[in-house]
């Protein structure tokens, strides 16, 4: 059996690929829907500094939040490809790459939610 068939018949790899795809698409859609429904004139927080008890927030553009969606989808493609290429040499590293991608997508989603909060 060649490498391609071994990779796509490995149950752990298929499970992680499915979770990565599902979580990436869901988080991208949720971020996109939240960006579509933002109030007019809203500028998201991109930086917060608190020197000596003062609250100073710097705002950015909406395009910076669209870049999070691109980042999530780009990481899905890159990490899946990297996992596929490493699989014949080190199966464990391939699984670790897919697992860390799942963590990366979840953390990116959490960051996007905190940036679009209306508090």
Q: pTM for the full model?
A: 0.81
Q: Which residues contact 59 (CB under 8 A, 6 or more apart)?
A: 43, 44, 45, 46
CA 90 to chain centre: 24
Helix (H) or strand (E) holding 56: strand 56-59
Gyration radius of the chain's alpha carbons: 18
pLDDT tens, 74-111? 999 999 999 999 998 999 999 999 999 999 999 999 98
Token pair, residue 34, equals 């939240």
pLDDT tens, 28-52? 999 898 888 877 776 666 666 666 7
Q: How far is Cα 117 from Cα 112, in angstroms, rounded to an integer?
A: 9
């Amino acid at each position: 059996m060649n490498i391609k068939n071994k990779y796509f018949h490995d149950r752990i790899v298929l499970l992680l690929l499915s979770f990565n795809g599902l979580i990436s698409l869901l988080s991208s859609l949720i971020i996109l829907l939240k960006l579509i429904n933002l109030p007019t004139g809203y500028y998201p927080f991109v930086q917060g500094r608190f020197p000596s008890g003062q609250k100073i927030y710097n705002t950015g553009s909406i395009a910076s939040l669209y870049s999070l969606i691109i980042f999530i989808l780009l990481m899905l493609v890159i990490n899946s490809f990297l996992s596929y290429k490493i699989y014949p040499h080190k199966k464990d590293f391939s699984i670790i790459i897919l697992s860390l991608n799942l963590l990366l997508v979840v953390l990116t989603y959490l960051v996007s939610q905190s940036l679009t909060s209306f508090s």
